[in-house]
Structure 1
Amino acid sequence: MFIATLIAADRLSAGDISEASDRLASAGAGVAGWEWVEADKAADIRFSGVLDDARQALSILDGKFDAIVQPEEGRCKSLFVADMDSTMITVECLDELADYAGFKPQVSAITERAMRGELDFIEALDERVALLADMDAEIVTRCHEERVAISAGAATLVRTMRAAGTHCVLVSGGFTLFADRVAAEIGFDRAIANTLEIAAGRLTGRVTRPIVDGAMKERILADTTEKRGLQFSETLAIGDGANDRAMVARAGLGIAYRAKPTLREAADARIDHGDLTALLYAQGYARADWVDT
């Protein structure tokens, strides 16, 4: 049996649920009925059939609500691995650092192309970080305080999952100087990111090896899954760009969050309308179950 969880950014109507049920039936699914996860906000439709066909059928309704389709068994995940920039936080930290140095337009253009998968991630990272050479390292603290904002629903998502026993890992192609702070603020168990090289209190314009790139993110997901004695079906991963593609594709449930096309194609589901608490509804957590900040 499968579940299609419909999540509205504003209000989910009985008509929306009926339309989705009809789409599933037209795709050959045997619809067994539906129930609210949260009244007027999120609902589960249970059905039998072919998972990929159901996902395709509901993708036609994109624009009305987010739809996360998955097996009913194991919907509550035991491992959550999340990207940081433009996912758990609202900005790209490297772009914001470059703004202080006067290079934001150049760096943002490279970031956009890298996140679309048009550039090699490591080469693009080195090229951008080189522009920060000789900046006072304290600018990182200032940048974090002035520019970094936690994405809506991120803290509630992580704290609720951890309270239920889920191990939560923040994995970023960004930098430890941001990721460690963000992980502590949101409530992750662990943060893994790149290290900006610093000498005499100033950025050298280099990143310490090895680099956390897309392959490393996938390896972290796989290694953590194995070490915790889990199956991939018990894992959830989320990101927004090409650097997250392998990780999201490998996870039991891979989510593209307001993502670039290359990741949207690889993900099991997308969040385009609601905030990150959509992932709580997708796991069957009603509002009364959430751990708020």
Structure 2
Amino acid sequence: MSTSTPDGLVLRGFTPPLRLADFKLIAFDMDSTLINIECVDEIAAAAGRKEEVAAITEAAMRGEITDYKESLRQRVALLKGVPVSALHEVFDQRLQLNPGAEALVRAAQAAGLKTLLVSGGFTFFTDRIRDRLGIDYTRSNVLGVEDGLLTGRMVDQPWGDICDGEEKKKMLLATCALLHIAPKQAIAMGDGANDLPMMGVSGLSVAYHAKPKVRDQAMVAINDGGLDRLLEVARP
């Protein structure tokens, strides 16, 4: 059973209000959740291939492409030859935090929650967002670079090759284990189908301006306004 409010919040499976301090961890997707863009699409613009890459991204986020890893490999291959300077341009000129992002992160930190950023995107961006917001843990993908140009491939990491939906879930569960907390003490926020695995094991799943499949499964759907609208449901 779900309850819709006239101002763009949909609640499902619980009765608010909750207390933010009852949770110990909050996990964020990055692209189109914590930030306003899909970074891979914006990098592709430098190669003149934004429309092609964005179409794959949209299908993957809607859950129409079930093999996220392969979809990302396809998109990254189209970035071959793009200079690293294009990534700096995307970060400096196009990337912004979504409305309410910093307010929500600060409220969570003040309430004693640890913060986790798990992204199917790239460390170039997650590292910078981590440093800007003081996020505790991150997991994302490393773009291969040779002679200042993207290779069109990603670099393997000790935990695996690509951070897809299953890896996001694994990282959330591993972080809970590290913190000696139960997954039900974690909040997971995302917008795309690859966020559903981590949202499914968390105690509170939050869809932010999300794809229909994600909105339909989340306990909280924020369809209007900023990320900090979660504070109307889980009060500081």
Q: 2:208 aligns with which of 257, 271, 288?
A: 257
2:154 is the counterpart of 1:203: no
User: Residue 131 of structure 2: which of 181, 184, 187 is its match?
Assistant: 184
Distance change (3 Å), C-alpha of 1:243 and 1:165: same
Name 1:84's counterpart in structure 2: 30
Structure-1-length-normalised TM-score: 0.74
Q: Secondary structure at the match of 1:132?
A: coil
In structure 2, distance between residues paired with 1:74 and 1:65: 21
User: In structure 1, what residue type is equivalent to 2:188?
Assistant: A
C-alpha distance 179-138 of structure 1, shift in aligned 2 (>3 A): same
- 1:66 paired with 2:9, answer yes
Q: In structure 2, how many angstroms separate the alpha carbons of the residues matched to 1:219 and 1:172?
A: 12
1:136 aligns with 2:83: yes
Q: Please tell me whether the aligned partners of residues 184 and 201 of structure 2 are also in contact (alpha carbons under 8 angstroms).
A: no
Distance 1:218 1:75 in 2: 21
Whether the 8 Å contact between 1:137 and 1:202 is mirrored in structure 2 is yes
In structure 2, C-alpha distance between the alignment counterparts of 1:207 and 1:213, rounded to whole Å = 13
- In 1, Cα distance between equivalents of 2:224 and 2:150: 38
- Which of 143, 161, 172 lines up with 1:221 in the alignment? 172
Q: 2:56 aligns with which of 110, 114, 133?
A: 110
1:74 offset after TM fit, Å? 5.8
Partners of 1:130 and 1:184 in 2: CA distance: 28
Residue pair 2:18, 2:234 contacting (<8 A) in 1 also: no
Give the paired residue count: 228
Deviations 1:98-134 (A, max 9, x none): 0111000101101000101111211110111111111
Q: Distance in 1 between matches of 2:118 and 2:108?
A: 17
- Give how far 1:258 is off: 0.6
User: Are the equivalent residues in 1 in contact too, given 2:20–2:108 (CA < 8 A)?
Assistant: no
Which among 161, 185, 194 is matched to residue 234 of structure 1?
Answer: 185
Of structures 1 and 2, the larger Rg is shown by 1
**Deviating more after overlay: 79-88 vs 201-210:** 201-210
CA RMSD of aligned residues (A): 1.6
Tell me which of 58, 68, 73 is aligned to 1:121.
68
Question: Which residue identity lines up with residue 64 of structure 1 in the other structure?
Answer: D
Q: Does the CA-based 8 Å contact 2:44-2:78 persist in structure 1? A: yes
Percent of pairs with identical residues: 39
- Return the alpha-carbon distance in structure 2 between the equivalents of residues 223 and 250 of structure 1: 12
In structure 1, which of residues 156, 165, 168 is the aligned counterpart of residue 112 of structure 2? 165
Q: TM-score, normalization: structure 2?
A: 0.91
Q: Tell me if the contact between 1:155 and 1:187 (Cα under 8 Å) persists in the aligned partners.
A: no
Structure 1 runs of 4+ aligned residues shifted over 3 Å read 67-75
Instruction: Tell me which of 75, 79, 93 is aligned to 1:146.
Output: 93
Alignment of 1:28-107 (within 5 A): 53=1, 56=2, 58-59=3-4, 61=5, 63-68=6-11, 70=14, 75-76=20-21, 77-107=23-53
Other structure's SS at 1:225 match: helix
Aligned letter for 2:175? T
